[in-house]
């Protein structure tokens, strides 16, 4: 992964190398943008409490970890599994700028990133899917603490539940893929979600360099015929489906 990062870093461009007006705007207002008006302290206070919580929970893992029914400390999971503040706030800007309303969140964990989605789309509908009951119980408690009313939680294996969740939407604006970091499920979930996109939809894939399988999955996705613009930010990959523009792949830092 270190070598992948070096390769990424030397290929990546900043604002000067971007000739697409859409991506230039994305770079300035979303990737490098600031949330001057926003107060995220309520969400970040919940993250702090999770990081201090030494209670053990029984994990059920349907993902690449697959170490089922082993106890793990909430604090350890919060430290290693949640999207850091910087990235969660970038996703907040992405959702609020493009006013995404119908949102699918694959891999709730403790719901920290989901809370950012909820704040970014106060009138939207967020369906968040998680396979581990004890993890989801903590997430639901966090959603109650912040009085959210736009999040629906769906418990169980995404392999089974994604099709049901997606069919409840006429169209899907935004999907965050942060659950099963393996090739086959990633591509299966991607293809399922494609059935409900329009040209303004956006998908975000987490951990695109996490493993050979994830690198291959990202490579398959960027070459898909329905995909037009893809942006590699190393820790995440962003996919747009805009029509009438040349298919292009960007590596940005």
Site for ligand SAM in 160-189 (CB under 6 A): 178-180
CA dihedral 33, 38, 39, 43 (to 10 degrees): -70
Q: Which is nearer to ligand SAM, 135 or 230 (CB)?
A: 135
Number of residues interacting with ligand SAM: please give it, by CB under 6 A: 21
- Between CA 215 and CA 4 the distance in angstroms is 10
Q: Which is nearer to ligand SAM, 112 or 251 (CB)?
A: 112
Binding mask 117-146 for ligand SAM (x = CB under 6 A): ------------xxxx--x-----------
Part in contact with ligand SAM (CB under 6 A); list of ranges 10-18, 61-69, 215-223, 242-250: 61-69
Pairing of strands 56-59, 70-73: antiparallel
- Between CA 136 and CA 108 the distance in angstroms is 7
The length of the chain, given as a count of residues? 253
Work out how close the CB of 24 gets to ligand SAM at its nearest, in angstroms, rounded to a whole number: 27
101 lies in the binding site for ligand SAM (CB under 6 A): no
Q: Which helix (H) or strand (E) holds 191?
A: helix 183-194
- Alpha-carbon distance values, 180 to 57, 83, 107, 207 (Å): 20, 15, 8, 11
159 lies in the binding site for ligand SAM (CB under 6 A): yes
Part in contact with ligand SAM (CB under 6 A); list of ranges 16-24, 31-39, 154-162, 163-171: 154-162
- Between CA 99 and CA 43 the distance in angstroms is 20
Among 96, 109, 142, 228, binds ligand SAM (CB under 6 A): 109
231 lies in the binding site for ligand SAM (CB under 6 A): no
* DSSP summary character for residue 31: I
Q: Is 159 exposed, middle or buried (0-12, 13-18, 19+ CB in 10 A)?
A: middle
Among 74, 82, 172, 233, binds ligand SAM (CB under 6 A): 82
What is the binding site for ligand SAM (CB under 6 A)? 61-63, 81-83, 107, 109, 112-113, 129-132, 135, 157-159, 178-180
């Amino acid at each position: 992964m270190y070598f992948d990062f070096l390769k990424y870093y030397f290929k990546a461009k900043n604002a000067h190398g971007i000739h697409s007006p859409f991506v230039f705007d994305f770079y300035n207002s979303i990737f490098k943008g600031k949330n001057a008006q926003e107060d995220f302290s309520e969400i970040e206070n919940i993250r702090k409490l999770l990081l201090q919580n030494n209670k053990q929970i029984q994990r059920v893992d349907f993902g690449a970890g697959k170490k089922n029914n082993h106890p793990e400390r909430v604090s350890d999971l919060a430290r290693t599994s949640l999207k850091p503040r910087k990235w969660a706030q970038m996703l907040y800007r992405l959702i609020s700028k493009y006013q995404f309303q119908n949102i699918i969140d694959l891999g709730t964990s403790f719901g920290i990133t989901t809370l950012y989605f909820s704040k970014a789309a106060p009138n939207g509908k967020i369906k968040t899917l998680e396979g581990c009951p004890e993890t989801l119980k903590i997430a639901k408690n966090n959603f109650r603490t912040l009085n959210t009313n736009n999040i629906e939680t769906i418990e169980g294996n995404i392999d089974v539940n994604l099709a049901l969740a997606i069919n409840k939407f006429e169209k899907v604006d935004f999907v965050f893929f942060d659950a099963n970091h393996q090739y086959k499920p990633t591509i299966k979930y991607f293809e399922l979600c494609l059935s409900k996109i329009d040209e303004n939809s956006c998908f975000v894939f987490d951990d695109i360099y996490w493993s050979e399988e994830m690198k291959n999955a990202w490579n398959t996705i960027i070459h898909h015929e329905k995909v037009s613009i893809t942006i590699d930010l190393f820790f995440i990959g962003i996919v747009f489906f805009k029509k009438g523009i040349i298919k292009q792949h960007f590596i940005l830092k």
